[in-house]
Amino acid sequence: MTTRMTINGVSTCQTAGKEQYEKFQSGVGRRKRTLVQYDYREQTSGELFSCVAPTLDECREKRDNWLKRKGYTL
């Protein structure tokens, strides 16, 4: 699988406050499912959040929960 989101396993999401995502398929045969790989770099600290979920909305919800836990504002 080629990806535009990583180079040698390192996220290419370098700009603070930006998100990056792409869809990919996982599984074998008829059991394939489409998932979204999501990266977000926090604006003030530059900390990277990364996750995989079935939809982009679920990824963003996970990001928002992470930001709240860390005490960052949206």
**pLDDT tens profile 13-44:** 777 788 889 998 888 888 899 999 999 988 88
Number of other CB atoms surrounding residue 13 within 10 Å: 19
What's the pLDDT score for residue 28?
Answer: 85
Q: Three-state SS across 6-59?
A: EECCEECCCCCCCEEEEEEEECCHHHCEEEEEEEEECCCCCCEEEEEECCHHHH
- 14: tokens are 């370098």
Mean of pLDDT values over 9-13 = 68
pTM higher than 0.85 for the full model?
no
| Residue carrying the six token digits 């679920």 | 58
Instruction: Label residue 1 by pLDDT band (50, 70, 90).
Output: very low
Six token digits for residue 35: 């998932």
